[in-house]
Structure 1
Amino acid sequence: MKYASMSIKNKWQKTKWLLKHRRLRRHIPRTVPFNRKNLQMMLSAYPTVYFKPTGGTGGFGIIRIKRMARGYQTKLNTVKSPSPTQVHLYKKLSRFSGRESYLLQQGIQLAKTKGKPFDIRVIVQKTNEGKWISTAICTKIGKPDMVATNYHQGGRLGYLSNMLAGAGYEHDLILRKEAALKRLGVAVGKSFDLYRRGFRELGLDVALDTEGKLWILEVNTRPAIYPWKHLKGKMLYRRIMSAARQYGRVT
């Protein structure tokens, strides 16, 4: 069977789709195209800002910018470097980006489990009947000192219930958060259908902040499946694979 699922890399286009929906808009961190004016605005509004390639994948090329007592600090992978002024910072980021387009995104203070920050991946897949289903949810704990939590950046996958329990959530609240994540995934799938035909799978990167709010950091239209093999029991992996066979992702 031919692999039949639409794929779009442009993060800004996908963000604009989400922002058109009131239900989803409140889950989107402030995100704007990178330019001098927007950099100034974002750094004035937020203590931490992420500089992300518009078409990047796997967490590569992401720079964290932190506002310091004097100037700013950037971090790429594990390497930190200072920028004494905003002008210096803008020139540094412009050289790094070259001709590629980048976004600036509000930094979210992630919830922690046993002292380690994590975010969440929600896999949403469409059945042959055209119904979106959130088939699997896992958490990602980043490798120490890395900017991104992605598996490709050394991140480790875990089960949602374990991570939320480690973050101090009681059983009933864990179930409610899981249900909210599933609803969020389905809502994103339905919203994408309004703008482009052919989507059969999506991967949501979702942040849970220290106040318990869910934030959609990014939507991937061709999410990686193989890392799910490494989750103990492989139940979620089998569930994803079963749905993926319907649209030719796997045979």
Structure 2
Amino acid sequence: MGHRLVGILLNAAMHRGVPRLKTGQESLANYEEAATAYGLTPCFLKLGDIDTDSGLSSAYIKSEKGYERTLIATPAIIHNRAIYTEDSPGLARLLQHGPLLFNACNRYGKDEIHSLLEQHAGLRAYLPATAKGSAGLRSMMAAYDDLILKPCRGSVGQGVMRLVRRTPRHWSWSYRSPSRGRWITLPVDPENLPRVLRSRLAAVPYLVQERIQLAEIGGRPFDLRVTVQRGWGGEWQLTGLFAKLAAPGGFVSNIARGGEAISSSFALEKVFSGAEAARIRMSVGALSLRIASALEQSLPGLADIGLDIGIAGDGRLYFIECNGRDQRYGFQKAGLTEAWKDSYRRPMGYARYLLESGVKT
């Protein structure tokens, strides 16, 4: 296979860091190694440097002197690693006039994903009870004693809150205070919810969900992050999974909120027997592939996602959320180096497959 260019689309801030090798959690070395394995040369772009009229782009390509800006013919295949929504004008222009871009839109509302999965009868049993907004909160408080409130468009655990019934007439409300940098828990009257809580619900759309009693290690709940990607051949493949363990005293497992990444086998075998832990791992993998296949029917170009799957104390599985731009560094933090590298190899294999086959996403 001759070497051909493959584009990696980054946001502007990360793109600026390429020549200094300061790209946050994205590993340039992993991209280089993965692309080389498939006879590709990665070039790192930002949206503003792609000229759809001329077919030319300015991109960073590695040379003997390091990464240098080079004027190139825009690559035929680009993997999107920047955050864009469906209404992005620049993205729409690129999709209409430019190259083949996979994982183009990668910011989906939690309510949108839940609604799409709810249309598949075989997946409904894995979805927590869910409602939306202030009206949904009232109905959920009448039906459940423990609730999680999530911004529909939030990420890395930002804006997540919890409501727990303590007595028939009193609840506790937990939220993270940006000014204090820690979690605050306050008693609340269900008939007179705090103004700050009502303001949050009015400011942005919120999803209200039954809180699943997740399996715990030492009182710390955990869920599993499952990376599912298309690779060579175009089919969905399970790249790997790790456990996200909430910080002591916390209920949010996000690594960016103090959670810890550990081996999924280690976490599951702390709670379940070896045979049951193995069965759960296999079931989680199978469920994740089913979810990816269901979502691709409504989300064109989907090719690289991270799914959060919760495991209740009795071993039941629940879909928690879908991450359109999977943060792969959790594998590295969990000591799963090969899975971390595989999370870069699979998209490069898919890019080569698209180049060879001429398949349209």
After the TM superposition, which residues 24-35 of structure 1 pair with which residues of structure 2 at under 5 Å, given as runs? 24-35=123-134
Tell me if the contact between 2:134 and 2:201 (Cα under 8 Å) persists in the aligned partners.
no
- How far does residue 147 in structure 1 lie from its aligned partner after superposition? 3.3
The equivalent of 1:172 in structure 2 is 275
After the TM superposition, which residues 104-143 of structure 1 pair with which residues of structure 2 at under 5 Å, given as runs? 104-143=208-247
Tell me if the contact between 1:29 and 1:106 (Cα under 8 Å) persists in the aligned partners.
yes
2:126 alignment partner, SS class:
coil
The equivalent of 1:87 in structure 2 is 192
After the TM superposition, which residues 183-198 of structure 1 pair with which residues of structure 2 at under 5 Å, given as runs? 183-198=286-301
Q: Which amino acid aligns with 1:213?
A: R
Offset from partner CA, 1:105-142 (integer Å, 9 cap, x none): 11111111244321111111012422111111110111
Structure 1: distance between partners of 2:283 and 2:251: 26
- How far does residue 239 in structure 1 lie from its aligned partner after superposition? 1.6
Offset from partner CA, 1:190-240 (integer Å, 9 cap, x none): 101111210011111111111110000111111111232212251221121
Alignment of 1:61 onto 2:165: no
Q: Which amino acid aligns with 1:19?
A: E
Tell me if the contact between 1:72 and 1:86 (Cα under 8 Å) persists in the aligned partners.
no
Tell me if the contact between 2:220 and 2:251 (Cα under 8 Å) persists in the aligned partners.
no
Calculate percent identity across the aligned residue pairs. Answer: 24
Structure 2: distance between partners of 1:195 and 1:177: 28
2:250 alignment partner, SS class:
coil
Structure 1: distance between partners of 2:216 and 2:228: 25
TM-score normalised over the length of structure 2? 0.65
Higher RCO (C-alpha under 8 Å, 6+ residues apart)? 1
Tell me if the contact between 2:262 and 2:333 (Cα under 8 Å) persists in the aligned partners.
no
Structure 2: distance between partners of 1:43 and 1:54: 19
The equivalent of 1:225 in structure 2 is 328
The equivalent of 2:47 in structure 1 is none
Structure 1: distance between partners of 2:297 and 2:248: 39
- How far does residue 188 in structure 1 lie from its aligned partner after superposition? 0.7
Tell me if the contact between 2:149 and 2:162 (Cα under 8 Å) persists in the aligned partners.
yes
Structure 2: distance between partners of 1:68 and 1:124: 39
Alignment of 1:145 onto 2:249: yes
The equivalent of 1:19 in structure 2 is 118
Tell me if the contact between 2:263 and 2:336 (Cα under 8 Å) persists in the aligned partners.
no
Count matched residues.
245
Offset from partner CA, 1:35-83 (integer Å, 9 cap, x none): 23x2221112111111110000001100011112142111013210121
- How far does residue 170 in structure 1 lie from its aligned partner after superposition? 2.0
2:127 alignment partner, SS class:
coil
Q: Which amino acid aligns with 1:82?
A: P
Q: Which amino acid aligns with 2:332?
A: K
Alignment of 1:50 onto 2:148: yes
Q: Which amino acid aligns with 1:10?
A: G
TM-score normalised over the length of structure 1? 0.92
Structure 2: distance between partners of 1:86 and 1:120: 36
Give the alignment partner of residue 239 of structure 1, picking from 342, 352, 358: 342
1:137 alignment partner, SS class:
strand
- How far does residue 247 in structure 1 lie from its aligned partner after superposition? 5.3
Structure 2: distance between partners of 1:160 and 1:233: 10
The equivalent of 1:73 in structure 2 is 172
2:203 alignment partner, SS class:
coil
